[in-house]
A and B are shown apart, each in its own frame.
Chain A
């Protein structure tokens, strides 16, 4: 069954049809949530909240691209989660004990040694830390553009921000990421170490 039929069935209360959409998009949704929140449990909570909200808001879906519509809800759920964490700072300490989520192994088919694997994990964590250091509004844009590789107009659609705001926030986020990654130069692959020389 194609996506439109699943959406149509879910709109009429078919929760199984909606769950098939969930299975299709849950990795993307969770990835965005994790990159924005930077912590596995919070990302899982935000993702779950987003799917529940999407199910009950299906009447508002206007036939646009479903993934964009879903990620808009995920982004809002992430904002809610971040606000919740700022109100309860102690809960953010839980994230230090969490292990970073497993990457999708299908995207890394090349075999690597345990040392290489550890270095790669360390690099990912360093990049994630730089993302986490960004202000929330800049981080959301950076994740949507540089992680999910959305076009600017899609970002406008997802966030509801003007195009100029998206551009300026993205350029500031990239400048900060550049400066941050210079600090972890020793973790970067050799081709990237050249960029500050």
Chain B
């Protein structure tokens, strides 16, 4: 073995031995080997000569002063100022801010749409408490129904039949999950001029028999209040037999067919088209309503405004969220552009 054929491990041991970097056990092991292996001793001598030669190299004198120019460097700036002065950091902040802004905007929009659906459900359930109110206040109104269904205002439609049907159909449609527009249309009807209630021609009332319709109306109102829409539909069919007029035919068809929510919207104005309701029926219907009015007042006047308030508050919150996101997006984009410009200049 020659000094040139030493293993890397032996060279490493010799190098560390020269620098006094071996622990006691390694040093004693190596020293025992050095005593018996001449090539190892030669290698150690060569390494020592090499190290001493390199250590002969002088310490150099700096060719000039490396002191910093106070005018160029001045006082050290705080770390946050250095961060702000870095174009890359500003770009990163702008990108992150933009991402957060997009998330805010999308989140706000999603929450808004979710709230709208939730509000529909709330108002829908609230409207379920309004059947008698609908039946009661719907009577004065006639024009909307006419405009929608092209009813003739002066039709001989039997008012006593139409009125209970309206109440039954309204309840049925609400049980089916009718649209919130029922409540709105009922409110419209309530705000309508009371004078719109048209006095029915006496002959018409006599022709179609107002008297049988009165107990039917009262019974249907009670059934409807108990939540029996199917019976209401059956009653509608019975009424249809008694009054084969065009308008009741339409109502009966609507009652027999499982109406989609949009159908319910149609039916409610039909109930409001009771211009020819005779005086006896008019006295009965409010009576039936009056028995249920306390509960209806609670639900109609308490739940609906509260739901609307909640919806309004939620909408306002979501709007603020979206607005905040838009502002953040604008600021982030400006930050990104500023940082990019700064980085390019640098």
A interface vs B, CB < 8 Å? Answer: 11-13, 15-16, 18-19, 22-23, 26-31, 34-35, 40, 44, 47-48, 51-52, 55-56, 58-59, 101-105, 107-108, 123-124, 127-128, 131, 142, 145-147, 149, 151-152, 167-168, 170-172, 174-175, 177-178, 181, 188, 191-192, 195-196
* Contacts A55-B76, A104-B59, A149-B55 given; does A195 touch B45 at CB 8 Å: yes
The reply to whether B15 and A171 contact each other, CB–CB distance below 8 Å, is yes
27 A-B pairs (CB sep. < 8 Å): A26-B66, A26-B67, A27-B59, A27-B60, A29-B62, A51-B66, A55-B68, A56-B76, A56-B82, A59-B79, A101-B63, A102-B60, A103-B61, A104-B59, A123-B56, A124-B57, A128-B57, A147-B54, A171-B15, A172-B11, A174-B47, A177-B54, A178-B49, A192-B49, A195-B45, A195-B46, A196-B46
7 shortest A-B CB distances, which residue pairs?
A103-B58, A13-B75, A171-B15, A19-B67, A171-B12, A146-B54, A30-B62
Question: Which residues does chain B contribute within 8 Å of A188, judged by CB atoms?
Answer: 53
Q: CB-nearest residue of chain B relative to A41?
A: B63
A151 to B62, CA, bound (A): 24
The tally of residues in B whose CB lies under 8 Å from a CB in A reads 38
Q: CB-nearest residue of chain A relative to B73?
A: A15
Count of chain A to chain B residue pairs whose CB atoms are closer than 8 Å in the complex:
142
Question: Which residues does chain A contribute within 8 Å of B52, judged by CB atoms?
Answer: 192
Within 8 A of A (CB), among B1-40: 8, 11-12, 14-16, 19, 21
Question: Which residues does chain B contribute within 8 Å of A149, judged by CB atoms?
Answer: 55
A106 to B68, CA, bound (A): 26
Does more than half of chain A's interface fall in helix, strand or loop, or is it mixed?
helix
B83 nearest CB across to chain A (Å): 12
A175 to B46, CA, bound (A): 9
Question: Which residues does chain B contribute within 8 Å of A51, judged by CB atoms?
Answer: 66-68
The reply to whether B61 and A101 contact each other, CB–CB distance below 8 Å, is yes
A172 to B74, CA, bound (A): 45
The reply to whether A15 and B75 contact each other, CB–CB distance below 8 Å, is yes
B26 nearest CB across to chain A (Å): 11
The reply to whether A167 and B15 contact each other, CB–CB distance below 8 Å, is yes
A145 to B54, CA, bound (A): 10
The reply to whether A167 and B12 contact each other, CB–CB distance below 8 Å, is yes
B10 nearest CB across to chain A (Å): 9
B103 at the interface (CB under 8 A from A): no
A95 to B69, CA, bound (A): 27
Question: Which residues does chain A contribute within 8 Å of B47, judged by CB atoms?
Answer: 174-175, 178
* Contacts A16-B70, A102-B60 given; does A178 touch B15 at CB 8 Å: no
The reply to whether B67 and A23 contact each other, CB–CB distance below 8 Å, is yes
